[in-house]
Copies of this chain bind each other. A is one copy, B any other.
Amino acid sequence: MEKLLLVEDDSALVRRLTEYLSTEGFHCLSAGGQTQAVAAIDTERPDLALVDITLAEGNGFAVCAYARGKGVPVIFLTASGDELSTVTGLDMGADDYIAKPFRPKELVSRIRSVLRRTSGNHGEITLGELRVDTGKGLVFRGDRQIFLSALEYRLFMFFLNHRGQVLTREQLLDEIWDSAGEYVSDNTLTVYIKRLREKLEEDSQDPRLILTVRGIGYQLKE
């Protein structure tokens, strides 16, 4: 499980983020100021730091520089309209930034994106005879590579990050297709499930991996 460090002094926000991010499968630490943040980067070696630039104690940029020095990727949290900060933030080497207010879903998507980009060969998930190299974005069955399209991969990753959980069709549509507020046909999901099954299942007629939960959605077998 990826370890995130929240560098943020608004404790209410920290609490909510921690809660939400843990449901998304992350492990969260927090630091309220620069001193704590630096200590946490050293001792905890997080996979990613989320840094609020408007820290009361210390300076977000300094934290960012330190984290980068230690090879920890950074996403900046900025107050919206605070353009100077975002520019400087990216110049400082932040891997991404997100303006408040952000939708939690969007934050998660950015986090995953940065982790994918930076974590190199970090993770490898095995599921039966399937093997997923989350760093490189490759999927294998045995030693034969399986080629998934971008959306197929995204959908499959969402299942992987929620193994065992019954995911509603709505939730999946939201997650994979509703990023831009565009709505796609309900059947699109059905079709993608079929395509995934055809590529991933032993026998797509008799799915053992992605199970249908009628009236609700689908579930990736653990």
Contacts and interface: CB of A to CB of B under 8 A. Distances in A.
Contact of A117 (B20, B89, B112, B117): B20
A161 interface: no
A121 to B, nearest CB: 12
Contacts of A153: 216
A216 B138 contact: no
Interface in A85-102: 86-87, 89-91, 93-97, 100-102
B13 A91 contact: yes
Contacts of A102: 90
Interface stretch (A38-46, A166-174, A195-203): A166-174
B87 A97 contact: no
Interface in A120-179: 120, 122, 135-138, 147, 149-151, 153, 164-166, 168, 170-171, 174, 178
A71 interface: no
B215 A150 contact: yes
B149 A214 contact: yes
A80 interface: yes
A182 B183 CA distance: 29
Nearest to A22: B122
Contacts of A215: 149-151
A105 B171 contact: no
